[in-house]
Amino acid sequence: MTILGIETSCDETGVALTQDKRVLCNSIYSQQIHSRFGGVVPEIASREHTERLLMMTRGILEEKKMSVEDIDGIAVTYGPGLLCSLLIGLNFSKSLSYSLGVPFVGVNHLEAHIYSPFINIEEYSYPFLSLLVSGGHTSIVKVNDFRDYEVLGSTLDDACGESFDKVSKLIGLGYPGGPAIEKFAGEGEENEFDFPVPDPEGLDFSYSGLKTSVLYTYLGLPQEERIYRVSDIAASFQRSAIESLLIKLKRAVRMTGIKRVSVSGGVSANKLLRKRLEELDIEWIAPDKEFTVDNGAMVGFLGYKLFKEGIRSELGLKADSRLSLN
Protein backbone atom coordinates (compact mmCIF):
# COMPACT_ATOMS: atom_id res chain seq x y z
CA MET A 1 0.00 0.00 0.00
CA THR A 2 1.48 3.34 -1.05
CA ILE A 3 0.71 6.07 1.44
CA LEU A 4 1.25 9.80 1.31
CA GLY A 5 2.20 10.95 4.83
CA ILE A 6 1.57 14.59 5.69
CA GLU A 7 2.82 16.43 8.78
CA THR A 8 2.13 20.12 9.47
CA SER A 9 1.58 20.25 13.23
CA CYS A 10 4.18 22.91 13.99
CA ASP A 11 7.00 24.49 11.97
CA GLU A 12 8.16 21.53 9.89
CA THR A 13 6.38 20.78 6.64
CA GLY A 14 6.77 17.03 6.23
CA VAL A 15 5.73 15.05 3.17
CA ALA A 16 6.61 11.40 2.62
CA LEU A 17 5.80 8.39 0.52
CA THR A 18 5.73 5.05 2.30
CA GLN A 19 5.05 1.62 0.91
CA ASP A 20 3.75 -0.72 3.59
CA LYS A 21 6.41 -0.37 6.30
CA ARG A 22 9.11 1.01 4.01
CA VAL A 23 9.88 4.67 3.54
CA LEU A 24 10.34 5.56 -0.13
CA CYS A 25 10.90 9.26 0.26
CA ASN A 26 10.87 11.68 3.19
CA SER A 27 10.95 15.38 2.51
CA ILE A 28 11.14 17.86 5.39
CA TYR A 29 11.14 21.62 5.15
CA SER A 30 12.16 23.22 8.46
CA GLN A 31 10.84 26.75 8.44
CA GLN A 32 13.85 28.92 9.20
CA ILE A 33 11.84 32.12 9.13
CA HIS A 34 10.90 31.69 12.82
CA SER A 35 14.50 31.99 13.98
CA ARG A 36 14.38 35.77 13.72
CA PHE A 37 11.48 35.80 16.21
CA GLY A 38 13.10 33.33 18.62
CA GLY A 39 10.14 30.94 18.43
CA VAL A 40 7.35 29.72 16.18
CA VAL A 41 4.85 32.33 14.97
CA PRO A 42 1.68 30.29 14.27
CA GLU A 43 0.27 32.51 11.51
CA ILE A 44 3.56 32.48 9.62
CA ALA A 45 3.91 28.71 10.09
CA SER A 46 0.55 28.02 8.49
CA ARG A 47 1.29 30.34 5.57
CA GLU A 48 4.58 28.55 4.98
CA HIS A 49 2.82 25.15 5.04
CA THR A 50 0.31 26.46 2.48
CA GLU A 51 3.09 27.62 0.19
CA ARG A 52 5.12 24.41 0.43
CA LEU A 53 2.73 21.50 0.69
CA LEU A 54 1.64 21.09 -2.91
CA MET A 55 5.10 21.79 -4.27
CA MET A 56 6.71 19.25 -1.93
CA THR A 57 4.10 16.60 -2.73
CA ARG A 58 4.74 17.08 -6.45
CA GLY A 59 8.47 16.94 -5.74
CA ILE A 60 8.46 13.56 -3.99
CA LEU A 61 6.13 12.02 -6.58
CA GLU A 62 8.42 13.22 -9.37
CA GLU A 63 11.48 11.96 -7.53
CA LYS A 64 9.97 8.48 -7.29
CA LYS A 65 8.61 8.70 -10.87
CA MET A 66 5.11 8.25 -9.52
CA SER A 67 1.84 10.13 -9.99
CA VAL A 68 -1.06 10.88 -7.66
CA GLU A 69 -2.81 7.86 -9.18
CA ASP A 70 -0.25 5.64 -7.43
CA ILE A 71 -1.36 6.82 -3.97
CA ASP A 72 -3.56 4.25 -2.23
CA GLY A 73 -4.18 6.19 0.97
CA ILE A 74 -3.28 9.37 2.84
CA ALA A 75 -2.18 9.66 6.47
CA VAL A 76 -2.14 13.07 8.09
CA THR A 77 -1.42 14.48 11.53
CA TYR A 78 -4.65 15.93 13.00
CA GLY A 79 -3.30 16.77 16.47
CA PRO A 80 -1.84 17.80 18.82
CA GLY A 81 -0.13 20.94 17.58
CA LEU A 82 -0.85 24.46 16.41
CA LEU A 83 -4.44 24.54 15.21
CA CYS A 84 -3.85 26.78 12.20
CA SER A 85 -0.91 24.63 11.08
CA LEU A 86 -2.77 21.34 11.56
CA LEU A 87 -5.65 22.66 9.47
CA ILE A 88 -3.45 23.20 6.43
CA GLY A 89 -2.25 19.57 6.28
CA LEU A 90 -5.63 18.16 7.23
CA ASN A 91 -7.60 20.10 4.63
CA PHE A 92 -4.99 19.39 1.96
CA SER A 93 -5.28 15.68 2.74
CA LYS A 94 -9.06 15.69 2.79
CA SER A 95 -9.23 17.43 -0.59
CA LEU A 96 -6.75 15.01 -2.11
CA SER A 97 -8.54 12.02 -0.59
CA TYR A 98 -11.90 13.21 -1.93
CA SER A 99 -10.67 14.05 -5.41
CA LEU A 100 -8.62 10.85 -5.82
CA GLY A 101 -11.26 8.64 -4.22
CA VAL A 102 -8.75 7.12 -1.78
CA PRO A 103 -9.12 6.79 2.01
CA PHE A 104 -7.40 9.02 4.50
CA VAL A 105 -6.65 8.52 8.17
CA GLY A 106 -5.98 11.09 10.86
CA VAL A 107 -2.85 10.31 12.88
CA ASN A 108 -2.05 11.36 16.45
CA HIS A 109 1.34 13.11 16.27
CA LEU A 110 2.42 11.64 19.62
CA GLU A 111 1.66 8.11 18.48
CA ALA A 112 3.58 8.74 15.26
CA HIS A 113 6.64 9.72 17.35
CA ILE A 114 6.23 6.66 19.60
CA TYR A 115 6.43 4.21 16.68
CA SER A 116 9.00 6.21 14.66
CA PRO A 117 12.05 4.26 15.97
CA PHE A 118 10.65 1.16 14.28
CA ILE A 119 10.77 2.60 10.77
CA ASN A 120 12.96 0.27 8.72
CA ILE A 121 13.58 -2.21 11.56
CA GLU A 122 11.91 -5.03 13.46
CA GLU A 123 9.51 -3.75 16.12
CA TYR A 124 9.74 -4.52 19.80
CA SER A 125 7.18 -6.92 21.15
CA TYR A 126 4.80 -5.45 23.72
CA PRO A 127 4.98 -4.11 26.34
CA PHE A 128 7.73 -1.53 25.96
CA LEU A 129 8.42 1.90 27.40
CA SER A 130 8.47 5.03 25.30
CA LEU A 131 10.47 8.10 26.26
CA LEU A 132 8.92 10.82 24.13
CA VAL A 133 10.99 14.00 24.19
CA SER A 134 10.12 16.80 21.82
CA GLY A 135 9.54 20.54 21.74
CA GLY A 136 5.96 20.17 22.91
CA HIS A 137 6.01 16.98 24.98
CA THR A 138 8.09 15.11 27.52
CA SER A 139 6.55 11.86 28.69
CA ILE A 140 7.25 8.30 29.69
CA VAL A 141 4.60 6.00 28.33
CA LYS A 142 4.04 2.31 28.90
CA VAL A 143 2.91 0.85 25.60
CA ASN A 144 0.94 -2.27 26.52
CA ASP A 145 -0.19 -3.10 23.01
CA PHE A 146 -0.76 -1.35 19.71
CA ARG A 147 -2.51 1.92 20.69
CA ASP A 148 -2.88 0.86 24.32
CA TYR A 149 -1.01 3.42 26.39
CA GLU A 150 -0.42 4.24 30.03
CA VAL A 151 1.17 7.64 30.51
CA LEU A 152 3.44 7.10 33.52
CA GLY A 153 4.82 10.61 33.70
CA SER A 154 4.73 13.93 31.85
CA THR A 155 6.16 17.35 32.23
CA LEU A 156 4.61 19.62 34.82
CA ASP A 157 5.68 22.76 32.93
CA ASP A 158 8.05 23.16 29.98
CA ALA A 159 8.88 20.31 27.64
CA CYS A 160 12.53 19.24 27.44
CA GLY A 161 13.00 20.54 23.88
CA GLU A 162 11.24 23.75 24.81
CA SER A 163 13.77 24.31 27.60
CA PHE A 164 16.61 23.87 25.07
CA ASP A 165 14.88 26.45 22.86
CA LYS A 166 14.37 28.94 25.70
CA VAL A 167 17.90 28.63 27.09
CA SER A 168 19.31 28.93 23.59
CA LYS A 169 17.35 32.12 23.00
CA LEU A 170 18.51 33.50 26.37
CA ILE A 171 22.19 32.95 25.69
CA GLY A 172 21.96 34.17 22.12
CA LEU A 173 22.23 30.90 20.19
CA GLY A 174 18.94 31.25 18.31
CA TYR A 175 16.12 28.91 17.32
CA PRO A 176 15.74 25.93 17.25
CA GLY A 177 17.75 25.63 20.40
CA GLY A 178 18.47 21.89 20.61
CA PRO A 179 20.99 21.59 17.79
CA ALA A 180 22.58 24.96 18.71
CA ILE A 181 23.00 24.07 22.40
CA GLU A 182 24.39 20.66 21.45
CA LYS A 183 26.94 22.23 19.09
CA PHE A 184 28.19 24.81 21.60
CA ALA A 185 28.11 22.29 24.44
CA GLY A 186 30.67 20.30 22.47
CA GLU A 187 33.17 23.11 23.08
CA GLY A 188 32.23 23.66 26.72
CA GLU A 189 32.85 22.21 30.16
CA GLU A 190 29.76 20.50 31.56
CA ASN A 191 30.74 20.81 35.23
CA GLU A 192 31.52 24.51 35.04
CA PHE A 193 28.07 25.55 36.28
CA ASP A 194 26.25 23.59 38.92
CA PHE A 195 22.71 23.78 37.53
CA PRO A 196 20.10 21.66 39.33
CA VAL A 197 19.05 18.32 37.88
CA PRO A 198 15.24 18.46 37.96
CA ASP A 199 13.71 15.49 39.75
CA PRO A 200 10.12 16.11 40.86
CA GLU A 201 8.45 13.20 42.59
CA GLY A 202 7.69 10.04 40.67
CA LEU A 203 7.96 10.00 36.91
CA ASP A 204 6.93 13.55 36.13
CA PHE A 205 9.36 16.04 34.63
CA SER A 206 9.92 19.71 35.24
CA TYR A 207 12.17 22.08 33.33
CA SER A 208 11.12 25.53 34.51
CA GLY A 209 13.40 25.50 37.60
CA LEU A 210 16.45 24.55 35.54
CA LYS A 211 15.59 27.22 33.00
CA THR A 212 15.26 29.85 35.74
CA SER A 213 18.54 28.77 37.29
CA VAL A 214 20.29 29.26 33.93
CA LEU A 215 18.58 32.64 33.57
CA TYR A 216 19.79 33.99 36.92
CA THR A 217 23.26 32.55 36.52
CA TYR A 218 23.58 34.12 33.08
CA LEU A 219 22.26 37.49 34.18
CA GLY A 220 24.58 37.35 37.20
CA LEU A 221 27.66 37.12 35.00
CA PRO A 222 29.56 40.29 34.10
CA GLN A 223 28.58 41.37 30.57
CA GLU A 224 31.97 40.51 29.07
CA GLU A 225 31.91 36.98 30.54
CA ARG A 226 28.50 36.14 29.06
CA ILE A 227 29.88 35.73 25.58
CA TYR A 228 32.95 33.66 26.23
CA ARG A 229 31.20 31.38 28.73
CA VAL A 230 28.32 30.52 26.42
CA SER A 231 29.74 27.06 25.64
CA ASP A 232 30.15 26.23 29.33
CA ILE A 233 26.58 27.33 30.04
CA ALA A 234 25.31 25.25 27.10
CA ALA A 235 27.26 22.18 28.25
CA SER A 236 26.24 22.49 31.91
CA PHE A 237 22.59 23.05 31.00
CA GLN A 238 22.60 20.12 28.57
CA ARG A 239 24.11 17.83 31.21
CA SER A 240 21.35 18.69 33.74
CA ALA A 241 18.53 18.46 31.19
CA ILE A 242 19.65 15.06 29.90
CA GLU A 243 20.47 13.73 33.39
CA SER A 244 16.90 14.48 34.42
CA LEU A 245 15.57 12.33 31.55
CA LEU A 246 17.82 9.47 32.61
CA ILE A 247 16.81 9.60 36.27
CA LYS A 248 13.17 9.27 35.26
CA LEU A 249 13.79 6.58 32.71
CA LYS A 250 15.82 4.47 35.16
CA ARG A 251 13.02 4.87 37.70
CA ALA A 252 10.40 3.81 35.16
CA VAL A 253 12.42 0.73 34.22
CA ARG A 254 12.76 -0.15 37.91
CA MET A 255 9.06 0.38 38.60
CA THR A 256 7.74 -1.56 35.62
CA GLY A 257 10.49 -4.14 35.17
CA ILE A 258 10.37 -3.35 31.43
CA LYS A 259 13.78 -2.94 29.85
CA ARG A 260 12.82 -2.29 26.23
CA VAL A 261 12.69 1.45 25.61
CA SER A 262 11.84 3.40 22.49
CA VAL A 263 13.14 6.97 22.55
CA SER A 264 11.72 9.51 20.12
CA GLY A 265 10.96 13.15 19.31
CA GLY A 266 13.30 15.99 18.38
CA VAL A 267 15.45 15.70 21.54
CA SER A 268 16.18 12.03 20.77
CA ALA A 269 18.69 13.33 18.19
CA ASN A 270 20.85 14.56 21.08
CA LYS A 271 24.21 12.78 21.15
CA LEU A 272 24.75 13.10 24.90
CA LEU A 273 21.35 11.49 25.51
CA ARG A 274 22.24 8.61 23.19
CA LYS A 275 25.64 8.19 24.84
CA ARG A 276 24.11 8.08 28.31
CA LEU A 277 21.42 5.61 27.19
CA GLU A 278 24.22 3.35 26.03
CA GLU A 279 25.51 3.18 29.62
CA LEU A 280 22.21 1.88 31.01
CA ASP A 281 21.33 -1.76 31.43
CA ILE A 282 18.43 -1.55 28.98
CA GLU A 283 17.59 -2.35 25.38
CA TRP A 284 16.86 0.98 23.68
CA ILE A 285 16.15 2.25 20.25
CA ALA A 286 15.85 5.72 18.75
CA PRO A 287 14.97 6.73 15.20
CA ASP A 288 17.45 7.61 12.48
CA LYS A 289 18.12 11.34 12.69
CA GLU A 290 15.77 12.22 9.80
CA PHE A 291 12.87 10.66 11.72
CA THR A 292 13.58 12.41 15.04
CA VAL A 293 12.20 15.83 14.10
CA ASP A 294 8.65 16.15 12.83
CA ASN A 295 8.33 14.34 9.51
CA GLY A 296 5.81 12.79 7.15
CA ALA A 297 7.45 9.34 7.13
CA MET A 298 6.46 8.57 10.73
CA VAL A 299 2.90 9.65 9.87
CA GLY A 300 2.79 7.41 6.80
CA PHE A 301 4.35 4.56 8.78
CA LEU A 302 1.70 4.70 11.49
CA GLY A 303 -0.96 5.36 8.85
CA TYR A 304 -0.17 2.01 7.28
CA LYS A 305 -0.61 0.24 10.60
CA LEU A 306 -3.96 1.99 11.09
CA PHE A 307 -5.20 1.21 7.58
CA LYS A 308 -4.23 -2.42 8.15
CA GLU A 309 -6.46 -2.45 11.23
CA GLY A 310 -9.29 -1.15 9.06
CA ILE A 311 -9.18 2.33 10.56
CA ARG A 312 -10.23 5.22 8.28
CA SER A 313 -11.29 8.79 8.96
CA GLU A 314 -14.38 10.64 7.79
CA LEU A 315 -14.15 13.92 5.91
CA GLY A 316 -15.70 15.56 8.97
CA LEU A 317 -12.61 14.85 11.10
CA LYS A 318 -11.62 17.97 13.02
CA ALA A 319 -8.11 19.07 13.88
CA ASP A 320 -7.51 18.70 17.62
CA SER A 321 -4.74 20.90 18.97
CA ARG A 322 -4.90 19.24 22.40
CA LEU A 323 -5.15 15.62 21.34
CA SER A 324 -3.56 13.28 23.93
CA LEU A 325 -2.70 9.60 24.14
CA ASN A 326 -5.67 8.64 26.29
Q: Considering the complex, what minimum distance in angstroms separates the CB of residue 160 from ligand KG4?
A: 7
Verify binding: residue 31, Zn ion, rule CB under 5 A. no
Q: What is the CA radius of gyration of the chain?
A: 20
Name all contacts of 274-281 with Cβ < 8 Å and 24+ positions apart: 276/242, 276/243, 276/246, 277/246, 277/249, 280/246, 280/249, 280/250, 280/253
Among 80, 269, 294, 296, binds Zn ion (CB under 5 A): 294
Closest distance of CB 206 from ligand KG4, Å: 16
Closest contact distance (angstroms) between CB of 128 and Zn ion is 19
7 binds, among Zn ion, ligand KG4, none (CB under 5 to 8 A by kind): none
Name the one range near Zn ion by CB under 5 A: 59-67, 133-141, 186-194, 282-290.
133-141
Nearest CA-CA partner of 169 in 209, 218, 224: 218
Contact at 8 Å (CB) between 103 and 1? no
Q: Contact between 12 and Zn ion (CB under 5 A)?
A: no
CA 108 to chain centre: 12
- Quick one: 73 or 296, whose CB is closer to ligand KG4? 296
Beta strands 128-133 and 260-264: pairing type? parallel
Question: What residues line the site for ligand KG4 (CB under 6 A)?
Answer: 10, 12, 134-136, 161-162, 164-165, 176-179, 182, 265-267, 269-270, 293-294
Residue 18 vs 213, nearer CB to Zn ion: 18
Q: Is 206 in the site for Zn ion (CB under 5 A)?
A: no
Cα–Cα separations (whole angstroms), residue 82 to 41, 43, 44, 76, 323: 10, 9, 11, 14, 11
Instruction: Please identify, using beta-carbon distances, which residue of 267 and 325 lies nearer to ligand KG4.
Output: 267
Closest distance of CB 34 from ligand KG4, Å: 11
Show contacts with Zn ion in window 54-73 (CB under 5 A): none
